[in-house]
Amino acid sequence: MPLTSDSDSDTESSDDEQAVPMLACRRLSPRPCINQALVDELKPLREFRFLQYGTHAKESISYATAVSCIIGTPFKIETVEQAAKIPKIGEKLTLKIQEFLDYGFIKESREVQQSERYRVLKLLTSVHDVGYAKANELYERGVRTLEDLRRAMNRPRIKSYLKYYDDMQEKIPRSEVESILAFVELQLNRIKPGFKTLLCGGYRRGKEFSNDVDILFTYPHRDGEERGVLQALVERMQQKNLIPEDGILTLTTCGTDRTITPNRSATLLDALDKALIIFRHPANGTTRVRDKYRRVDLVVTTWREWGSAVVGWTGSTQFERDLRRHAKRINLKFDSGGIRNRTTDEPVEAVTEKDVFRVLGLDYIPPEMRNADP
For Cα atoms 16, 19, 22, give the angle at the middle one, nearest 5 degrees. 145
What is the distance, to the nearest Å, from the Cα of residue 158 to the centroid of all Cα atoms in its chain? 21
CA distances to 15, 90, 98, 227, 230 from 255, rounded to whole Å, are 46, 43, 51, 9, 12
For Cα atoms 318, 321, 322, give the angle at the middle one, nearest 5 degrees. 85
Is 167 annotated among the ligand-binding residues? no
Q: Which of 88, 96, 207, 292 is catalytic?
A: 96
Which residues, 6 or more positions from 48, have their beta carbon under 8 angstroms from its beta carbon? 112, 118, 121
How long a stretch of residues is the chain? 374
Greatest CA separation for the chain: 62
Amino acid at 179: S
Is 212 annotated among the ligand-binding residues? yes
Core vs surface per residue 13-46: b (16+ CB within 10 A) or e: eeeeeebbbbbbbbbbbbbebbbeebbebbebbb
Query: Pick from 208, 215, 222: which is nearest to 242 by CA?
Result: 215
Query: Pick from 311, 304, 302: which is nearest to 334 by CA?
Result: 311
For Cα atoms 166, 167, 173, give the angle at the middle one, nearest 5 degrees. 135
Is 297 annotated among the ligand-binding residues? yes
Reply yes or no on whether 96 is catalytic.
yes
Give the integer Cα–Cα distance in Å for 283 and 301. 31
Annotated binding residues for Mg(2+), written as ranges, equal: 212, 214, 297
Task: Give the residue numbers annotated as catalytic, written as ranges.
Answer: 96
Annotated binding residues, written as ranges, equal: 212, 214, 297
